[in-house]
Structure formats: structure tokens, C-alpha cells
Structure 1
Amino acid sequence: MAAHELLDIYDEHDRHLGVCPRSEVHRVGHWHHTFHCWLVRDTEAGRMLVFQKRQHHKDTFPDLYDITAAGHLLAGETVEQAVRELEEELGVPLRFDQLTPLFIARDEWHGEGANGPLIDREVSSVFGACSPLTLREYRLQADEVAGVFEAPLSHMLELFHGERSSVAATGVYGQPDGAPTQEQPYVHIEVTLEQFVPQPHGYYEQTCTHLQQLSPLE
């Protein structure tokens, strides 16, 4: 289970301190490393930003919209190996050399999780890539991802800048067995900034700006 996963922990200067269970990492507030990958899809209508909806039973930020795929680096794991998150959460067969590094983000968050108070201190390596899949081709990890959505990247940047109050998005919800979403009907929704997982100031704007310059997948 996720709570018993072992993570490498660090001090505020990113010096390695040892290994600790994930539940303890969040209880005490140890710094640790995470992997973020944002996908975009190029269409005739323009470049779309792909994002996921978290499952309702997640211990933090249930039901909110989030990074396309993300996860903690396990003890001894490199960021190159963390590309596994794309395959595990979404069924996307991208290699690490197909990702573009965008920036490093540091974030400290204090709040309540499903098991009580927590302190989340993360150093996140943020990447971007062009998706080779349409929404119905994803295989969503049923216990992690409720659905996958896309909206015009330019509109999402305006949302995160505060220039729009909402953006129209299209998506599909996953199937309980994690099968491809080919038969799932499209849903059309309006998303607001408040429906996204909180991130450090400027994180979403910086991400979208970088993604606008991303080269198409070869």
C-alpha cells in the first residue's frame, strides 16, 4: 500500500538523510522527491492540455483535477525510472528520453489528509511531452485516476492567470477494471481554478508557458 512505500528523505538543502515510510514522511514533514509529467495533444483546433481527475478516495485532494501523471520517487529510484508513472496511471508508453524537462518546483503544504494532519514538503521534477493517444485510448489506473480530460492550452493558461473564470473541457471516465476507455462516452464540463490541486505560486502558469513551446512528438 502507498502508506507503507519507502521514500528517500532529505534536509532543506537536499542532502540525503535516509529512508522512511511514506506515511511517516508526510506526518513528520520530511523533504522528498516527486515526478510530474504534463501531456499535451496537438489537434486541428490547437494544442490541448491533458489533465487527470483524482479518485474520490485519495488521501489528499480527492476529486480534484491534477497533473496528467505524477508520483513519489521510491527509495533508490531515479527520476528517469519514475517515468513508470505514465504507464501505471495512464497506460502511456513513453520513454524518459521522449520527455522534456521543464523546471524544478519546491513546495511545502500543511493540511489534513484522510488519516489526520500532514506536512508535505516536495522537490518536484516537472516534465512535459506530447501525447501519442486520444482520450479514449488511455488505460486509467482505477484506484488512482477517475478520469482524463483535455482543454485548449491557451485557455488553461488564461484560467491560471486569472483571466478566465472557467474553461470548457472534454473528458472520459475510467472503467473499474482499468480497460481502455474506448467505449466510454465523452463528457463536457466547465473547470475552475479552485477545482485543481493547489500548487506553488506560478506553477501552473509556468507549466503552460513551457508547454506552449514544446516540440511535437517524433
Structure 2
Amino acid sequence: MEDEQIRIYDHNRKSIGVTTRKEVHSVGYWHEVFQCWFVRRENGIDYLYFQLRSDVKKDYPGLLDITAAGHLSADESVEDGVREIEEELGIKIEYKELIPLSIIQASIKRESMIDNEIANVFLYKNDKPFDAFNLQKEEVAGLVRADLNDVYDLWIGKREAVNVQGFKITNNGEKVEMNETVHKNHFVPHEDSYFRTVFKEIKQQLSL
């Protein structure tokens, strides 16, 4: 995976070449990613879905993250990114079923990595029960959902925690119910501005 070829860009989103995924993160080149957030309206409440990253993931193991997301290889278009949904969640969705939200430049910086992403963000209105998902065990250890309004309030400072419900897969492969109270530090540390922007856009889209 570290040798995967990734197209890189300057600050104006102009392509400046291709390099390895390892080099992308060590230097901090801007690169494209595909992101899809699942939402479901049930009993008048809009629920936002998060994947639980596997404990064996190199980056951010055991944290909650975007429903489905991944890097775009050098030879892939944004439309090709829809493969991430089937790979990670085990359900097949066509690109035309997705609702485009926005393209956001976002960064996560750590001592060992600079992740400068050009995020192509989409929304999917989910009508599938939890039992329909077949998670990629090397990548995803669970799937949960939370009240969208509560999650938005968490990131604008109106509350300190939210409840998430769903399921996770134990190390021995057992599927167990997950019902927990989580805080901001339980999520992958995307920039606060990223979460606020995306959650606001999702709320606006659902109000149309």
C-alpha cells in the first residue's frame, strides 16, 4: 500500500505529478481522496453513520471515522472512488446514487505524517439495516450511528459527548452490539473546521 501511486497537486489543485503513498504522507503533498457519509432518517431523526477503524490499522486504530473513505490512485477518477464503499462496508452502491456535497482541502499533521487531502465529499441516504453490511475486517471493526444534530452540536461546542449505537466485530470474529457514549477524542482528528463544514452541509441537504 505504501508503494501505491498517487497523483499530487499544488495549493491551487493543479496536478504536479505522481508519487508513492509513502512519499505523499512524508512530504505532505496535496492528494485526492473520496469520502462518503451515510445518513438515515428514522422516526423523524437523521442518523449519521461512522465506521470504527480496525485495531490493526497503522493510522488511527480503534477510532471513529467517515462512513467510507479512501485515497484515489493516480489512474482513478473521483467516480472510481465509490469502490471504497463496497470494499470497506460490503454493499454495492452506484456513483449516481450519491449526493455531491463539496470539495474540501483538509489537513492532519502528526510527527510521522502530514496528510494534506483534497476531499471529494459525498452523501448517501442509507435504507439498509446494520445486518446488510459485511465489513472488511482488515480495515473496519464496526459501524455505528449517532443523531446528526447531536454530532453537530458536539463540534460547535454545545455538548461534550454523544451516544453511538451499532455493532462491532471482536478479535475472534463475533458480532456484538455497540451502545456507547463517546467524546471528540474518540474520532479521527480531522480538523474541527472540516467536521463543522461537512455536518452543516449535510443538515442543509436534508432540509431541502
TM-score, normalised by the number of residues in structure 1 = 0.87
Give the equivalent residue in structure 1 for 2:16. Answer: 17
1:106 aligns with 2:101: no
Residue 194 of structure 1 aligns with which residue? 185
Identical residues among aligned pairs (%): 37
8 A Cα contact 1:140 1:175, kept in partner: no
- Greater CA drift, 202-211 or 121-130: 202-211
1:149 paired with 2:144, answer yes
Task: Mark the CA change 1:92 to 1:213 in structure 2 (over 3 Å): closer, same or farther.
Answer: farther
How far apart, CA to CA, are the structure 2 residues paired with 1:121 and 1:172?
31
Does structure 1 conserve the Cα–Cα contact (< 8 Å) formed by 2:2 and 2:21? yes
- Of the structure 1 ranges 124-133 and 169-178, higher mean CA displacement relative to structure 2 is found in 169-178
Matched, 1:66 2:61: no
In structure 2, the residue matched to 1:206 is 197
Query: Which residue of the partner structure matches residue 31 of structure 1?
Result: 30
User: 1:139 corresponds to which letter in structure 2?
Assistant: N
CA contact (8 A) 1:129 1:214 kept: no
Distance in structure 1 (CA, Å) of the matches to 2:172 and 2:27: 35
Alignment of 1:8 onto 2:14: no
Of stretches 197-206 and 74-83 in structure 1, the one that deviates more from structure 2 is 197-206
Structure 2 distance, partners of 1:124, 1:137, is: 27
In structure 1, how many angstroms separate the alpha carbons of the residues matched to 2:9 and 2:175? Answer: 43
Q: Which runs of structure 1 show a deviation greater than 4 angstroms over 4 or more consecutive aligned residues? A: 175-178
User: Could you list the per-position Cα deviations for residues 53-99 of structure 1 after superposition, in whole angstroms to 9, with x for gaps in the alignment?
Assistant: 11122222121110000000011111011011111100222111111
User: Within 5 Å, which residues of 2 pair with 1:42-191?
Assistant: 42-44=41-43, 46-112=45-111, 117-174=112-169, 184-191=175-182
Under a length normalisation based on structure 2, what TM-score does the superposition of the two structures give? 0.91
CA distance in 1, matches of 2:44, 2:152: 16
Structure 1 window deviating more from structure 2 (151-160 vs 201-210): it is 201-210
Cα 1:212–1:142 shift into 2, 3 Å: same
Gaps of 5+ in 2: none
Displacement after TM superposition at 1:121 (Å) = 1.2
Give a deviation string over 1:82-124, Cα, whole Å, max 9, x none. 0111111002221111111111111233214xxxx22211111
Compared with structure 1, are the counterparts of its residues 177 and 17 closer, same or farther at alpha carbon in structure 2 (3 Å cutoff)?
Answer: farther
5+ residue gaps in structure 1? Answer: none
- Number of residue pairs matched by the alignment: 207
Coordinate RMSD, CA, aligned: 2.0
